[in-house]
Structure 1
């Protein structure tokens, strides 16, 4: 099972938010990703899509769906295109992790591997400590992967004290096989998402309806 947890804080402008949505829509419905879903030991993937900003804002945009075919992936992509968008202040990666953990624990699937895929363009500046939230998630056997987006104006112009990819490696990702894929900017986000999904899905066992 895979939760896609996507940053919609104010450092992500309207065009960038559109590029993020398009990146996920195009990646999930891409033939190479569908082939990864259907091939080998996988067969299907349980997918949920969450958008988040500050500690008080996490939203389940698309609830759990079982993707097992190109038709499923296309339908998922079309639903995401129709969903309304919102943008709020602050960046709470910790809040996103806690919310995603609840989504995984409430999922209608049984799975031996559960993954949270966090994408964002800034560091945690709202809510609890991100490393504490990470450790709480990892303690339940869940893997957290990261997709940091290099942005020239993240978190209202306050640049992180370390490169964002290093921040994600040190504070955000965790669990078996955890990794980071860097999007150099929002324009390259779609390709980064595609690479990341193929790598993640290749390791996910087939979810069974519970």
Structure 2
């Protein structure tokens, strides 16, 4: 596989706190972001002129599934294909607990197994609940950061108003890492667009 500037794992909460409509708003938000002209321009602005993206759904211990396999995006046509794949992604994991640490371990495994060269490896965690099953996310995060990866987070605050603090303390890590809040799923699409712009741009974007 040709080199990319960024290998990005989208780790998306599909636990029981995310209902059918909310899941649709998340997938629609990601799809809309990849159709956005500014996001598309950012994806091809690096030295390699491309990024690779995969989307993973997660809930319980052992419930992580790749909904969109790695797709290299080097132009608008690729971004359109990614958007379509995200929109068509079924809810592949059962609703259940929030095994956030297990999900992060699975995301790091995807980055570690990536078959190609990348400048940055990033996991983008989005969800509306704190860890409540399986391994604690903090130590998992530390292992991934030690391996050279970065974790960013988007905390949806509709159910747990203090979730952003949990993401800051237990989830994000690595150079330039950040966590962003969004009030609810109705505002998810704009929040993820802004997050992706910052994520893809790396340290160059405030």
Same fold (TM over 0.5): yes
Structure 1: gaps of 5 or more residues:
153-158, 205-210
Tell me, yes or no, if structure 1 residue 13 matches structure 2 residue 19: yes
Whole-Å separation in 1 of the counterparts to 2:148 and 2:27: 28
Matches within 5 A, 1:31-50: 31-41=37-47, 43-50=49-56
Bigger drift between 15-24 and 31-40 goes to: 31-40
- Quote the residue 2:142 is aligned against: 135
Whole-Å separation in 1 of the counterparts to 2:63 and 2:46: 37
- Quote the residue 1:92 is aligned against: 99
Aligned residues: 196
Contact 1:2/1:46, CA 8 A, preserved across alignment: yes
* Aligned partner of 2:120 among 80, 97, 113: 113
Whole-Å separation in 2 of the counterparts to 1:60 and 1:169: 25
Contact 1:64/1:108, CA 8 A, preserved across alignment: no
Normalising to structure 1: TM-score of the pair?
0.89
TM-superposed deviation, 1:104: 0.6
- Quote the residue 2:177 is aligned against: 178
Tell me, yes or no, if structure 1 residue 124 matches structure 2 residue 123: no
More strand by share: 2
Whole-Å separation in 2 of the counterparts to 1:42 and 1:147: 27
Whole-Å separation in 1 of the counterparts to 2:202 and 2:49: 11
Q: Which structure exhibits the higher relative contact order, with contacts defined as CA atoms closer than 8 Å and separated by 6 or more residues?
A: 1
Structure 2: gaps of 5 or more residues:
1-6
TM-superposed deviation, 1:42: 5.5
Tell me, yes or no, if structure 1 residue 79 matches structure 2 residue 78: no
Whole-Å separation in 2 of the counterparts to 1:116 and 1:26: 19
Deviations 1:20-64 (A, max 9, x none): 000101111211100111224351101110000011200011111
- Quote the residue 2:32 is aligned against: 26
Structure 1 residue ranges, 4+ long, deviating more than 4 angstroms after superposition = none
SS of the aligned residue for 2:41 comes to helix
CA RMSD of aligned residues (A): 1.4
